[in-house]
Every structure is written in structure tokens, then in C-alpha cells.
Structure 1
Amino acid sequence: MIEKVNPAHPDKIADRIAGAIVDLAYQTEENPKIAVEVLIGHGKCHAIIETTAFIDREEIAKAIGRIAGMLDLEIDVVRQDKLLAKNQEGKIRCGDNGIFMGMPLTKEQLELSRIARMLYSSFEADGKYILDGDRLIICQSHASSDLIRRLFPDVVINPLGDWTGGTDVDTGAVNRKLGSDMADSVTGGGLHGKDLSKADVSVNIHAFLKAQHTGEPVEISCAIGDEFVDGIPYEKIVEEAREFIWSVGGFEKFAEWGLF
């Protein structure tokens, strides 16, 4: 049993905005320290950005407008805490405490990911999808039910009827759809809106990739400042995550679908 939401879902719009802002930080520094929170809905967007990197507010506003349209913006940019920044000086160390479990993806999870992407490419509107064995539930705004039924004759579509979708119907917040992004994998934090030093990003990616490679569950714990995690130098885990993020097109693209 698995649920996926598509990139037009309000929570994913918030994730994508946060990812785009992290991308901006990496354009100015090789290893910035940044954490972004975004709340969006009903014509407004509030972004709080804690960062070591200089990011032009106009570029932030452009990124938000490109992803979410014209909104009333409240953008707060603050420097990272001095003591926390000092802990990271001189070497890449684990940037957070956390517990993580990577799980191999099931055929059911991979199939729903395929279906979700196909529907999004067709409609590019807010959608949420559940697959539980043979039962497929599609909640898709701005969609032709007849067209969907041609593809999936036994599907349940919009059980309560048509709906508008988007941020004028629902609010969005960063990291609120981790089940959609991670399937059965488990994290104490969130994937989006953070730099690669954060375990919530790099250790989650490492645990997930290791589980896909081994076909077995992976359990990892770490503490802020650790130089080795899962028996590996932390800087190697960061580089593994960097390669994965760049392979999908950056933090904003990563935020569209998460790990699968």
C-alpha cells in the first residue's frame, strides 16, 4: 500500500520552492549551510531562510513566482547561528542528530510512481494517488474521468466528485508528504529545504540507496558532529548524496517526487 502526490500538490509546491532556494545557495557556495521553511496558500507565501550563503531576495522571489505564480511574499533571510556554524568549520561533519531506515522499494510502490508520473504528464494539475493491491484510487483535479477510465477501467476517481486543486484550496508546507517521497523508509527529519551537510538529506539518501542495492532494510543513527556514519567517512556520504541530487537536476527537481 502506497500513496504518491504529484508536483502540483500544495505541499510539493512548498518542497519545490524550498529546493529552488537551496539551489540558489549552491550557486554561490560549494558547501553552504542552509535550512528553508515555506508555508504557502491562498495567495500568500512565507519563506524563512537560515543560511551562510548570500542569496539575492529578488532571485528568491523569481523562483517562487516561477513555481507558484504571483503571490504576496514574506521572505525572512537570517544568518546561521554562530555557534552552530563554528561546529562545521574546517571539515564536513554530520550536521544533525537522527535515526534513519532505508527500505527496498516494492513492485507496488514502483508501479504507483509510474502511474503518478504518467498522470501528471497528462494533466499537470494537483493529484493524489493510492495503490493498495488491485485497488487504485485517483484524486486528480482538472482531469477527464472518462479518459482516466480508458487507461484504468476499475479505478476509483475523485470519490466525492470533481475538485479544484491547488493552493487556493489547500495550504502547503515543507516536508509534509514524506510518505509519498520515501515509501516505507523512515526518517526523524525531512528531505527538503536543507543542504547536504544535514543528515536529513544525505543520510536519508545513503540509507535509501543502500537498501535498493542490498535488497535489505538499512538502519542508521548519527549525532551532530559525527565524522563517520554507517562506518563511512561522512564526507563520502555527502558526496554520494550530492551525486544523486545532481543526477536528478538539483534540489528543486529532487523535491518534485522525492526518492522514487
Structure 2
Amino acid sequence: MSRNSYIFTSESVSEGHPDKVCDRISDAVVDLFLGRDPEARVACETLTTTNRIVLAGEVRSANPVEQDEIEGVARAAVRDIGYEQDGFHWRHADFQNFLHEQSADIAMGVDAAGNKDEGAGDQGIMFGYATDETPELMPAPILYSHQILKEMARQRKSGERPEFEPDAKSQVTLRYENGQPVGVTSVVVSTQHRSGLTPEDVRELVRPVVTSVLPDGWFPPEEEFYVNPTGNFVIGGPDGDAGLTGRKIIVDTYGGAAPHGGGAFSGKDPTKVDRSAAYACRWLAKNVVAAGLSKKCTIQVSYAIGVSKPLSLYVDFHGTGKVDEAKLEDALMQIANLSPRGIRERLGLSRPIYARTAAYGHFGRTPDDDGGFSWEKLDLVDELKTLA
């Protein structure tokens, strides 16, 4: 039986966190290839450490992409994040590229041919989730954690707070009563900063950011407001800690409030169902909650490599539903084509829209005019309401 009163915590990391630098570079490479060929195949992994960027993985494109173009988008990504430090600089970091052609065995199983539709790029399970506890239909702890760091990055880049450096983390703990958030019990923010600032200086720079993000009256008790608990945080980013693509999958999704299938998103073209099917599940779950069929909704799908149809679709309303879950499962299979190609075409995923997803979460965002975050659209609500 689910609990209605509890305390729950989620964390986020900034675009300058070493792992997020890698996610951004990998997704910039995805965008580069998709901009050249919408049917391109990309699986790009990135490693960063002190003044070093290393790419590895598999790619395929009908239109050539040159090595200097790949290096160019990688360096541009680091420059946009804001790294111009002695230990990690967009211009001076050593760059190595070990991307190579996609395996012919994988291509044979995944590509459409003859009467065979495009198959899933891998086996696996994917989840989507939505909850009515915020207007974005996202869990509140991860949403506030993202917003704190996003506002700090805005202030840093605008010059309003040049004391902030790119690497940062946040953590928000909320108290729930009757299944809804009612207040914040603690906030943790650790941010890289310019040399010469005291811990109290940094604390007072962060305070108004947190205040602006949280609802009125939700600021935690002073003894539960933690800013740079270790003290100094001048050395950061890939100079302070190595980064890898795909290590922040819980930050990318629901902050631990919902399951994750295990596969990362960044660096993968949309034929990889780790990414596209997770987006489709969020799209379906969000529309279900927005249609008033439940207050919370988790959706799971599964696939086999090379097979176009999903092997299963599972719906869980967590005891908040107004319709039969099995009935909805059948309806969703009719409403949405959940084959890899069906998802790509319905959500318009074969476009260079991915670098923007690499930080501050893939979900709970506003759909862009060019098709970015299309999985956040509420375009199934009217159809789903007929099932109530």
C-alpha cells in the first residue's frame, strides 16, 4: 500500500558538472549527424578530464561528416557551458575522436528492409511518469532542483553573478502529506565559485536564487540550508573530477520518483529506444494525467533488438486512477504506434533537437517551435478523455 505522508529528496546537477559536459558534447554530435542526415545512426560516448576530451562510439551517415566538424561542435559545446579555466578550456583541451562505423550486424537487425519494418536498436525496458503535483506534471523535488541550477546558470552567463562558475549541484527535500508536497525540509547547493569568496559569501549569493524558485513560505530552516558544506569549491568541472556520458540518468528523468529502465539518453540517435521510447512513455503518461484519468501514472514498454513492435505495455496509476488500467493499456496500443519508426515520426525525433536536453532534465520542459521537447505536448488529452 502506497504511503501518503513522507519526506522525499531529489538532486540535479548543472550543465557544467563533468558528466553533463559529456552529455552535452555527445548530444551535440547527435545533432550534427542528424542535421546532415535524418536517418543517421549515432551512439557517441564522451570522456572528459583535465584539459582532455575523448569521443568513442559508432556512427553512420549517408552524408559525410568531417573530423574537424565533430571537433568543432565539441569545443563549441564546452565554450557555451562556460569553461575557460586553466584546467579545462574549450580552446586548449586536447581532443581525441575514436568514433567509427556502426556494426554491420546491428545495422542488419535494425534497418528496415523489404517487408521488414525498422526494428528496435536494442532490447530493454523504458519508463515514463507524470504526476499532478506541479503544473509541469513533474515530481516537485526534481523540478525545483533543476530550476535552482538553471537560474544560477542564467545569472552566471548574463554577468549578473560572475562569482558563480559552471560546476554545481542541488538537492531539494520535500515533505508530503496526503500525497501532495506541502513544504521544503532542506536544500543543499554546492557550486563552484571564483577564488577569494568565503563560504558565507557564497551562501548569500545562493540564497536569493533558492528563494526565487521555491513557493512562498517554503524556504527551509536556516540550519537545513546547506551551501558548499565542504567549504571551498574553486577547482571543479572535468579538472576536478572526470566525466562520462550517461551517468546522470536519474537527474535526466524523475529524480528517483519513478523507475528508470537503465539506458541513458544522451549521445543516442532516436532509433535507440532507450531514448525515443522513454520519451514516448513520458508523452503518454503526461497526457493521461492531464486528461484527468489519474493523479499519477507510470508507463512501461519493452522491446527486443531488431523487432519493431513493443513486447509489452504496462500502466500503473498508483491507486489514483479513474479508469481500468488494463483497459487503458489496450487503448494506448491503439492510439499510439509505439514501433521505433512510429515514435520517431509521431514525435518528430529525427531532427537536431538534442543538445538542449542534456542539462536540467529531459522532461517537464516547454515544447519548442522547432520540435524540441515534442514529447511534452498535450495533444492526446481530448482523445483520452473519452475513455473516462
TM-score of the superposition, structure 2-length normalised? 0.62
> Per-residue deviation at 1:106?
1.6
The residue that corresponds to 2:153 in the other structure is 120
What amino acid is aligned across from residue 259 of structure 1 in structure 2?
H
Q: Which one has more relative contact order, counting CA pairs under 8 Å at least 6 apart?
A: 1
Q: Deviations over 1:89-145 (max 9, x none)?
A: 334321111112212222333222222211221235111000111211001112732
- Name 1:157's counterpart in structure 2: 227
Partner of 1:167: 238
Amino acid at match of 1:175: G
1:225 partnered with 2:306: yes
How many residues are matched?
A: 257
Percent identity, aligned pairs only, is 25
**Alignment counterpart, residue 6 of structure 1, candidates 9, 14, 21:** 14
The alignment status of 1:77 with 2:148, answered yes or no, reads: no
Counterpart secondary structure, 2:263: coil
Structure 1 residues not aligned, in runs of 5+? none
**8 A Cα contact 1:196 1:242, kept in partner:** no
Instruction: Give the conservation status (yes or no) of the 8 Å contact 2:128–2:283.
Output: yes
Amino acid at match of 2:303: C
CA distance in structure 1 between the partners assigned to 2:27 and 2:259 by the alignment: 21
1:56 aligns with: 66
Cα distance in 1 between the residues matched to 2:338 and 2:96: 39
The within-5 A match list for 1:1-260 is 1-53=9-61, 54-68=64-78, 69=90, 70-87=92-109, 88-90=111-113, 91-104=117-130, 105-123=138-156, 125-133=166-174, 134=184, 135-142=186-193, 144-151=202-209, 152=211, 154=222, 155-164=225-234, 165-183=236-254, 184-215=258-289, 216-229=297-310, 230=313, 231=333, 232-234=337-339, 235-243=341-349, 250-260=353-363
How has the CA–CA distance of structure 1 residues 241 and 163 changed in structure 2, closer, same or farther, with 3 Å as cutoff? farther
1:196 alignment partner AA:
P
- Contact (CA 8 Å) 2:147, 2:360: kept in 1 or not? no
Structure 1 residue 81, shift from structure 2 partner = 1.0
Provide closer, same or farther for how the CA distance between residues 240 and 41 of structure 1 changes in structure 2, counting only shifts above 3 A: farther
Q: Secondary structure at the match of 1:228?
A: coil
Shift of 1:40: 0.6
- Secondary structure in 2 matching 1:156: strand
Equivalent-residue separation in structure 2 for 1:258 and 1:147 (angstroms):
24
Instruction: Give me the whole-angstrom Cα distance separating, in 2, the residues matched to 1:131 and 1:74.
Output: 37
Q: Which one has a larger percent helix, Structure 1 or Structure 2?
A: 1
Checking the alignment, whether the CA contact within 8 Å between 2:13 and 2:146 is kept in structure 1 is no
Q: Which moved more, 1:153-162 or 1:58-67?
A: 153-162
Deviates more, 1:187-196 or 1:250-259: 250-259
CA contact (8 A) 1:39 1:172 kept: yes
Structure 2 SS opposite 1:195: coil
Structure 2 spans left out of the alignment, 5+ residues? 1-8, 79-89, 131-137, 158-165, 175-183, 195-201, 212-218, 290-296, 314-332, 364-388
Question: Is the partner of 2:100 in helix, strand or coil?
Answer: strand
One-letter amino acid matched to 1:127: A
Please give the alpha-carbon distance, in whole angstroms, between the structure 2 residues aligned to 1:185 and 1:208. 12
Aligned to 1:100, the other structure's residue is in SS state strand
Is the 1:22–1:34 contact (alpha carbons within 8 Å) kept by the matching residues of 2? yes
Name the stretch that deviates more: 36-45 or 178-187: 178-187
Question: Which deviates more, 69-78 or 196-205?
Answer: 69-78
Deviation larger for 222-231 or 157-166 = 222-231
Shift, 1:237, TM fit: 1.2
Decide which moves more: 48-57 or 115-124.
Answer: 115-124
The Cα of 1:185 is off from its aligned counterpart by 4.0
Distance in structure 1 (CA, Å) of the matches to 2:71 and 2:142 = 35
SS of 1:130's partner is strand
AA paired with 2:246? N
Letter in 2 for 1:79: E
Q: Larger C-alpha radius of gyration, 1 or 2?
A: 2
Separation of aligned partners in 2, 1:176 and 1:237: 25
